Chains A and B, each alone.
Chain A
Amino acid sequence: MKYFYYPGCSLEHSAKEYDVSARALMRLLGHELIEVDDWTCCGASAADTTSRLLSIVLPARNLALAQKSGVRADMLVPCSSCYLNLRRADDLISRDGLTADLTNRVLKEEGLSYAGGIRVRHLLDVLANDIGAEAIAAGLKQSLSGLSVAPYYGCQALRPFSDFDDPEQPHSMDALIGAAGASVFDWSMAAKCCGAGLMTTKKELCLELVADILGAAKGADCIATVCPMCQMNLEISQKKISRMRGKALEIAIVYLPQLLGYSLGLPRDGLRLDLNLALTGSFKDLLADMSKQVAVPGR
């Protein structure tokens, strides 16, 4: 299949490994990504605090650029915050005439317009529902057997738009993780909030939220994420949080496409695990041990 691809600002810098592994995984599975030409920031959580109209115009500009290209495809978005912003813009423009009119009056300044109608999809939705566990199982090169993975969904991939998973008890990662040979760690924090953008302005609160998540993952070998903000919040302050709580809470944090890509035999430069900030020694040892074992026979 063909998808428009909107990487968003984080994937250019702090979440490069998410961008690299998502693109490499999609290519390996035979799908084409068309990066939105000249894309700009979706407004993140900042635009909404200043101007409602700007918070719709910024993501809409990217949808307008995709529509202008004449290609018909869904829009694939790996960052949960970008996903929410693009999806909300499409939703409001499609069902509210006044919003559509105002947005298009602004977009006209750049010779653009957006009529609505591009389906905005989170990467997790595409992996779970378009690609599916069978495709992962069929391409398996390196089973992750013995690895216990805690799936972490965070908030904005699931809420407020909840049409591809349960917003309270999400499960769309389970089959994918299972197909890669790993086991799913059963925990209650999968859909809880990591504090998101508050890490910049309300650090103390954010550290508490992350500490609860890391604490609940005790017993798993790694946490799998599908959002650059979740990933960064979970990985960046593990030492400090361990000190704060008086126990060792270090755990490997990896992006879901890195994990799936590893099981499908993506080469190093398609995974960029060297860029992750929290890969524990024991996690690296587990991976090394696995690769010593014989690959899945007879597939």
Chain B
Amino acid sequence: MAQNQASTGLETPGRGLFAEISKNLRACMQCGTCTGSCGSASKMDYTPRQVWRMVQAGMKEEIFKSRTFWLCSSCYYCTLRCPRGLPLTDTMAALKRVATAEGYFSDRKSPVFYKAFLDNVRKYGRVRETEMMTRYFLAVKNPAVPLSFVPLGLKLMAKGKMDVRISGFGGSGKLDRLYRKVMELEAAK
């Protein structure tokens, strides 16, 4: 069985990317199969089908004020079932990238978490869960967030499943060279 075409490694950051997303969705016939397949749809403020329409209409502000695309769990049901074969999960990810790049943080938690994660990877090559979560909690600055993770942390700790190595801020990282080159190539486009 074939999968729907995924987008490639190159894209135009910012304004250009939004136009690309819109172009990708041109064949949408608003049938709603994607929404009907989405386990997150009931918690979204706009359903996936509505978001595609809003993208086509250029309603950027409304889209990025919404929490819809941050609620996409990348389950690929919509992508699998769309009768037009559109790369919908990839499109949700692309919306996350535009939001992150242009600072549309209607919801700070998600971008802050992903940044903490990627910084951790840049530094050590692999994720050190405890340090990553610590940085995430520091960065969201909402005391309720770390508290909600105390039970999980304690359970993992009890089983010896937490990596508790934490080092200082800054310093050079294992994957610095790769990250730098990625940024350089993306800036050049």
Contacts and interface: CB of A to CB of B under 8 A. Distances in A.
Interface of A: 9, 12-14, 16, 38-41, 43-54, 56-58, 61, 88, 91-92, 96, 98-99, 102-103, 105-107, 109-110, 155-156, 159-163, 167-168, 192-193, 195-198, 200-206, 208-209, 236, 240, 274-275, 277
Contacts of B181: 105-106, 109
B178 interface: yes
Given A53-B186, A160-B79, 8 more contacts: A40-B175, A41-B127, A53-B182, A96-B9, A109-B177, A167-B80, A197-B74, A200-B113
A156 to B, nearest CB: 7
B1 A163 contact: yes
- The 3 A-B pairs at the shortest CB distance, nearest first, are namely A159-B76, A99-B9, A40-B125
23 contacts: A13-B162, A14-B161, A43-B121, A48-B74, A49-B111, A50-B97, A52-B10, A58-B175, A92-B8, A96-B9, A99-B8, A106-B181, A110-B178, A155-B74, A159-B77, A162-B1, A195-B39, A198-B40, A198-B73, A201-B113, A203-B148, A205-B43, A236-B152
A156 B74 CA distance: 8
Given A167-B1, A205-B43, A13 B161 contact: yes
Interface of B: 1, 3-4, 6-11, 39-40, 43, 70-71, 73-77, 79-80, 89, 93-94, 96-97, 100, 107, 109-111, 113-115, 117-118, 121, 125-127, 129, 136, 148, 151-152, 155-156, 159, 161-163, 174-175, 177-183, 185-186
For the residues of B in contact with A, the DSSP-based class is helix
A7 to B, nearest CB: 10
A52 B7 contact: yes
Contacts of B115: 50
A236 B153 CA distance: 10
A168 B79 CA distance: 12
A159 B114 contact: no
